[in-house]
Chains A and B, each alone.
Chain A
Amino acid sequence: MSLDTASPRRWRRPPLIANPVLRWGLWLGLAVYLALALGTMEINWTRVAEGLPRGQRFLAAFFPPDFVSRADAILDGILESLWMTVISTVVGVALSVPFGLGAARNLAPRPVYYICRAVVAVSRTFPEIILAIFFVKFFGFGPFAGFVTLSVATVGFYAKLLAEDIEDMDAKQAEAVRATGAGWFQWLNYAVQPQVMPRMIGLALYRLDINFRESAVVGIVGAGGIGATLNTTFDRYEFDSAAAILLIIIGIVMLAEYSSGYIRKWVQ
């Protein structure tokens, strides 16, 4: 038997979407959509072309960035962002605990469950910036508005994940502790908390990270932090100071990411 006789059947890679009508329909839909979207997009190419030298100047500003001439404003903004991040994470996580417990289906009575779920859903829906605009209107300009924004956003994130984690916990351990005659709070402390704690510490650190990133943005609408400084440097075309601020933000985020990785490993 010779080896080079080709098999009459040819193998073909199985596609990701098995249904051919759906597969080709999706491609067709994508093509139509792209044509429509690109057709209605108004791009002012002359303005884009004018901007390119400015973009070059901006890139050049990174070598070297100017940390010095706006040092006071930058330091002030960064510190403000940092302590806004810390309090809003702590307060947000503290507020998330009751809402998270309330939003866990296996823990809370039905009416409480629905109320807490609603609170979580509402605080998750709107982007942080829209919340920040309103809180600036309510509480006045400054870091307090930013703090409230980030705390509310933290509740939406953390309470939801806490509730899901509690719903996924091992019911046997909870039952065992209950069988010893523990009261509700003892039950919470010895059965529920140890099961969700490691993951929750990790998530709190992750949220700290997110809050710092967000705190760099809420300043654009007047809610304190480094965002305001950054916005001003862009308005004045001081690209070298802007580059310095961006590098500091990237540096802090990297630092936070690495150290939170270490802390998480240490906790678990």
Chain B
Amino acid sequence: MPVRAAGDKRFWRLRDRTQQLTLWAGWFFGTLLVVTCWHFMSEKTIWFFVWDAPHQVGDIAGRMVPPRWDYLDVLWKPLWDTINIATLGTLMAIVIAVPIAFFAARNTTPSVLFVRPVALFIIVSSRSINSLIWALMLVTIIGPGVFAGVIAIGFRSIGFVAKLLYEAIEEIDRDQVEAITATGAGPAQVLAYGIVPQIMPTFAGVSVFRWDINIRESTVLGLVGAGGIGIQLNASINNLAWTQVSVILLAVLATVIVSEWVSAKVRHAII
């Protein structure tokens, strides 16, 4: 225990000298980094606009009420599209992610040296790129519309589902696998009776969780033209139709809350 001696008395201290100095150095360089970053940012900022922000907030908030409720009639189709993008995208991701997860898990991969790195690379690239960037890419390649949105959501979700699934596969109980193997089961039977039942709850939970996230993400894909309610949002903002914007935001809010409720219910039922 670090103790400081002062005369003949000894005081308890939380850290010894080296730890304390390291901590101070850490704080020093950390602060330096933050200050430098702030400096770069303030150089690129037009501060007049920032100081003007409260006025802008008041102005836009004033224009957003009252919401134009009859605009909801136009919104049902885009909302349906948004939900479809999220759901179909999640389904597509699940179908692709399951084999990738088995290839990536150390205990089920056919080859640690060749297949596993490829699977891991697919997972990392899918996860690092936001669904909006996937959408941006796909809209330039296959054209605007719901289809691009579905594939964008699917691509982004593959990594997420596969990562959580392969971690679950690596953490399974080995005794059960051994017991199945001892009955003389082949590799496919071991997979079906020893591994799959163990990861099923995780799999269902992860899928529903990702679906919930995807609902949230698919509401904005329209900003780059990939279908859903984001198209209306973008158009309304560009036309400065703020009373429509508030209706759209409320619709998004309601959808997100409902999807979160559904996902919480389902996960509660499974786990």
Contacts and interface: CB of A to CB of B under 8 A. Distances in A.
A143 B45 contact: yes
Looking at B127, B257, B270, which has the most chain A CB atoms within 10 Å of its CB?
B127
Given A33-B87, A127-B217, A144 B140 contact: no
A214 B124 CA distance: 16
A80 interface: yes
A44 B136 contact: no
| Interface bin, chain A | 35 or more
Interface of B: 33-34, 36-38, 40-41, 44-46, 49-50, 53, 56-57, 60, 80-81, 84, 87-88, 124-125, 127-130, 132-133, 136-137, 140-143, 145-147, 150, 193, 197, 200-201, 204, 216-217, 219-220, 223-224, 233, 237, 249, 252-253, 256-257, 270
A216 B133 contact: yes
Given A41-B88, A127-B219, 16 more contacts: A40-B84, A41-B81, A41-B150, A44-B143, A48-B142, A48-B143, A51-B141, A51-B142, A83-B40, A86-B37, A87-B41, A129-B223, A133-B237, A138-B60, A143-B41, A217-B130
B224 A220 contact: yes
Nearest to B37: A83
A63 B127 CA distance: 21
13 contacts: A16-B201, A41-B88, A42-B145, A48-B142, A83-B36, A125-B256, A126-B252, A127-B216, A142-B45, A220-B136, A250-B128, A253-B124, A257-B124
Contacts of B193: 13
A134 B249 CA distance: 11
A142 B143 contact: no
Interface in A97-127: 125-127
Contacts of A125: 253, 256-257
A140 B84 CA distance: 34
Interface stretch (A155-163, A170-178, A180-188, A229-237): A229-237
B34 A86 contact: yes
B146 A41 contact: yes
Interface of A: 13, 16, 33, 37-38, 40-44, 47-48, 50-52, 54-55, 58, 79-80, 83-84, 86-87, 90, 125-127, 129-130, 133-134, 137-140, 142-144, 147, 213-214, 216-217, 220-221, 224, 227, 230-231, 234, 237, 242, 246, 249-250, 253-254, 257
A254 B127 CA distance: 10
